Copies of this chain bind each other. A is one copy, B any other.
Amino acid sequence: MKIISRELERFEKFLFSSTKTTVPFIGNVSRYVMEAGGKRIRPALVILSSKICGYSGKRAIAYAAVIELIHTATLLHDDVLDNAKLRRGRPSVNHLWGNEPCVLIGDFFYSKAVEIMGKDGDKELIRIVSRATTEVAKGEILEILKTGDLTVDEREYFEIIGSKTAALFSAACEIGAVLANKERKTREALKKFGENIGLAFQLTDDALDYISTDRSLGKKVGTDLKEKKVTLPLIKALKAASLQEKRMVEEIFEKKRVTSQDFYKVKDFIERKGGFKYTYEVAKRFIEEGKDLLVSISPSPHKNTLLKLSDDILTRKS
């Protein structure tokens, strides 16, 4: 993403300065979380979407920070829920400092995001971002409700990931069009584009949770199974499973503690049933559909970068 490297640099600066506080501890934890970096895919989406719509002002940097702050807040809150020990390749905040700071620094980031939006003062953008945030919370609640439930079907799975992941991707891209003052049609196209690549992102995430390694993923592989989250690879495999195979999975889901042997058994089962292949096929379809939505936007180097970023979701290792 060389083409927006200057904007991403400004974004980093903005992000760090916006979380400045008089409490050294908050500053330290914020820096720890922010320096871990992550992929910065959401801020890149805000910047690229605004660029391809012809906007090149400063507000894209501010909104890139808004989206990343909210994303980081949800990660921090998610870490509490998951009791995750690794996040972005390093010990998670809740593992180092406990659950309390994890929740509160998440709240702190979210408030900061709202402060930035308030300063900017755009009603429409506040509406877009706050709705997306409500969706994320809703999706994560739905996910918890469905934890351990092997009857979850594709429709329910897509309802969950549509809210918990795709809503923020979608908002990031729609913001770009709104900043550029684009007409409704372009806005809708970018919104839908963002949703599509958000879904693809979560699909590959759920596949990588089985097929990647801790080191390349930057977080623990096998977490979904350990937490009894039923994701598309498993849903697909179960659909084609024999009674005996179903029973095998059920037995593992009834266990309090999933062993690494259990993990390989389930991974193997999904592989045999084509669950990973199918998941990647669906992800590819979303990416293709997403890219098609941008057909009416004139070609440009920034557009090429956005299309490349979309394709890279399919081959990402982390």
Residues of chain A at the chain B interface (Cβ within 8 Å):
21-23, 25-26, 74, 77, 80-81, 99-101, 103-105, 107-108, 110-112, 114-115, 117-119, 121, 123, 126-127, 129-131, 133-134, 136-138, 140-142, 144-145
Contacts and interface: CB of A to CB of B under 8 A. Distances in A.
A23 B115 contact: no
Contacts of A26: 138, 141
Given A130-B115, A142-B23, A81 B99 contact: yes
A119 B129 CA distance: 12
Given A80-B80, A104-B144, A121 B126 contact: yes
B127 A119 contact: yes
Contacts of A25: 141, 145
A178 to B, nearest CB: 13
Contacts of A126: 114, 117-118, 121, 126
A136 B104 CA distance: 9
Nearest to A115: B130
B114 A21 contact: no
A220 B16 CA distance: 40
Contacts of A104: 77, 81, 137, 140-141, 144
A142 B21 CA distance: 12
Given A118-B130, A126-B118, A141 B80 contact: no
A288 B126 CA distance: 39
Contacts of A145: 23, 25
A102 B22 CA distance: 28
Nearest to A82: B100
A105 B68 CA distance: 21
A142 B101 CA distance: 10
A204 to B, nearest CB: 24
User: Which 7 pairs show the lowest CB-CB distances between chains A and B?
Assistant: A118-B126, A121-B123, A114-B130, A111-B134, A111-B133, A108-B137, A115-B130
Contacts of A23: 138, 141-142, 145
A99 B111 contact: no
Contacts of A138: 21-23, 26, 108
15 contacts: A25-B145, A26-B141, A80-B80, A81-B99, A101-B141, A104-B140, A107-B136, A107-B137, A110-B110, A111-B133, A111-B136, A117-B126, A118-B127, A119-B123, A121-B123
A108 B131 CA distance: 10
A165 to B, nearest CB: 15
Contacts of A115: 127, 130-131, 134
Given A80-B80, A81-B103, A100-B81, A111 B127 contact: no
A149 B141 CA distance: 36
Contacts of A129: 114, 118
A118 B136 CA distance: 18
A137 B73 CA distance: 12
Given A23-B141, A118-B126, A133-B114, A80 B103 contact: yes
Contacts of A131: 111, 115
